[in-house]
């Protein structure tokens, strides 16, 4: 079985010009992902990944793996996120080959962060 990884979803993400009292797109994305996660992926809701001008934001992380942060997502893009999470969980170090990533993930990577316990 593949190792467990976290899919962090910013539930406070919103779009410019939206009703401040309306539902947050980040919350809607998290709701769309719940119950559909690939094996080995845990959904973790979080507040503010500090990418507020680039739509909904998610991060994929795991022990001994690179962490990826992706933006410019929308609630209707849950399948894109699920596909990316499935590929991430199968990559032992978190490095999904660029050509295997979805077009959206290729063009909207905000950050790639080395594992905290990086080898010396």
Query: Residue 120: what pLDDT?
Result: 63
**Which position has the token pair 């934001």?**
57
Give yes or no for a contact between 100 and 87, defined as CB atoms under 8 angstroms apart.
Answer: yes
Per the prediction, the chain carries an average pLDDT of: 92
Query: Residue 118: what pLDDT?
Result: 57
Residue 14 lies in a domain: yes
Residue 119 lies in a domain: no
pLDDT digits (tens, 9 = 90+) for 70-81: 999 999 999 999
* In the predicted structure, residue 39 carries a pLDDT above the cut 70: yes
Query: Residue 35: what pLDDT?
Result: 93
Provide the β-strand partners of residue 45. Answer: 9
Residue 118 lies in a domain: no
d(CA 50, CA 53): 9
Residue 120 lies in a domain: no
- Rounded to an integer, the average pLDDT of 15-24 is 82
* In the predicted structure, residue 26 carries a pLDDT above the cut 90: yes
d(CA 44, CA 15): 21
- What CATH number is attached to the domain comprising 36? 3.40.30.10
Query: Residue 80: what pLDDT?
Result: 98
- Rounded to an integer, the average pLDDT of 71-97 is 97
Give yes or no for a contact between 95 and 66, defined as CB atoms under 8 angstroms apart.
Answer: yes
Tell me the whole-structure pTM to 2 decimals: 0.91
Query: Structurally, how many domains does the chain consist of?
Result: 1
Domain of 107, in residue numbers: 5-113
> What are the CA-CA distances from residue 54 to residues 62, 71, 92, 102, 110 (Å)?
24, 6, 29, 18, 9
Closest CA to 9 of 40, 53, 55: 55
């Amino acid at each position: 079985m593949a190792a467990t990884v976290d899919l962090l979803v910013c539930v406070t993400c919103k779009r410019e010009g939206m009703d401040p009292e309306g539902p947050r797109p980040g919350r809607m994305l998290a709701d769309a992902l719940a119950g559909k996660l690939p094996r080995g992926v845990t959904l973790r809701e979080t507040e503010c990944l500090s990418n507020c001008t680039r739509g909904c934001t998610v991060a994929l992380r795991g022990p001994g793996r690179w962490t990826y942060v992706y933006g410019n997502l929308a609630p209707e893009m849950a399948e894109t996120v699920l596909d990316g999470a499935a590929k991430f969980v199968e990559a032992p170090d978190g490095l999904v080959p660029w050509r295997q990533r979805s077009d959206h993930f290729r063009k909207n990577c905000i950050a790639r962060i080395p594992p905290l316990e990086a080898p010396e």
